[in-house]
Structure formats: structure tokens, C-alpha cells
Amino acid sequence: MTIGLYTLTVPVIERILGNLELILEKGAAYLAQRNLPDSVLLDARLYPDMFSLTRQVQSVSDISKGAVARLASIEIPKYEDHEHSFAELNTRLSTTAAFVRSVDRAAIDAGAERAISIVGRDRTMNFTGLSYLTGFVLPNLYFHSAISYAILRHNGVEVGKRDFLGAL
């Protein structure tokens, strides 16, 4: 049996985005119960030199849409980073999920051997589609979604491993 790149990409990304939406809903409920503004958690960081919760979630979105677009060799949608509430972040995640679902399966599957270059701050990283997915996209998605979870947990939101993993 051959497993196509689409199968390794779209369902995994959809799960990460959906679980993160549910975790953010718990963060919003936590603040609402305490009559606190969203900024209390959205601006929170695990350490001063790390991204805030808002930027962590934006990163999950950016990596997700960038992954399927690069693998399918289509233009990456541009989203402005203007979210200032949990509702706006969840809208961004659901918009990202809709885009991910819309990308043609065959186009993604055809990207396994495609050359992909990512220009970073200090270097350019070169991949095949498969090595891009397994060595860059998935580790980054799990990192930024796990840090989002950790920021909320660290600040008292009652989330657990089941929230992070979602329904199995």
C-alpha cells in the first residue's frame, strides 16, 4: 500500500488546527469566568524571548497554509496578523482549515519530490516535498501548538493531554 503525501498532510493539519481551536475556546471561557480581557492570555509567553500565545497560533496557521500550498505548488494565502481576541484567532484557524481542505489531493501528492526552499533569517533551507513535510512542517506544527497549549496550562487554564491530542 502506498501512502500519498496528502494523507500525511491534510488530516494531520486539520486535527492540529481543530484541537487548537478547542483549546483556545477553553482559554476564552477561563477568562470570561474571571471577567478578564483576552489580552491577559493572548499576550502571555512561557519566557520573555519566546512568542506570545497570539504569535504561536498565527505560526500554526502560517505553517499549515504554507505547507499545503508549497506541496501543491500554488500561491500561499496571505493573512494579516491582526488578531486581538480568541474569537479572531479561532476564525483564523477555521479559515486556514478551510483552505487546507480546499487544496487538490493530486496536487499535494505530486509534491513529494518537488524542490522546496524556505528562506529564513540567516539561511535558506532546501528540501524535497517529503523531507519538508517530515523534517520541517510537522515538527514546527507540533512545537507551536504544544507551546500554545503550555502557555494556557501554565496560566491556569484547565487543559490536559486529551485536549491536545483530541478524540482518538
Distance CA 114, CA 168 (A): 32
The three-state secondary structure class of 129 is helix
CATH of the domain at 127: 1.20.120.450
Q: Which residue has the cell 496528502?
A: 6
The pLDDT, as a whole number, for residue 122 is 93
The pLDDT, as a whole number, for residue 166 is 87
Domain of residue 15: give its range: 5-165
Q: Within 13 Å and on the Cβ side, how many CA atoms surround 102? A: 12
Instruction: With residue 149 as reference, give the H or E element that holds it.
Output: helix 138-154
Per the structure, the count of domains in the chain is 1
Distance CA 29, CA 123 (A): 41
Q: Mean pLDDT of residues grouped by 10 in the chain (168 residues)?
A: 90 97 98 97 97 98 98 97 97 98 97 94 95 98 98 97 88
Residue type, 28: A
Note the pTM of the prediction, 2 decimals.
0.96
* Among 154, 144, 4, residue whose Cα is nearest residue 66: 144
**What cell numbers appear for 53 in the block?**
500565545
The pLDDT, as a whole number, for residue 75 is 97
Identify the bridge partners of residue 126 per DSSP, sorted by sequence position: 117
Distance CA 168, CA 160 (A): 14
Note whether 99 and 68 are within 8 A (CB). yes
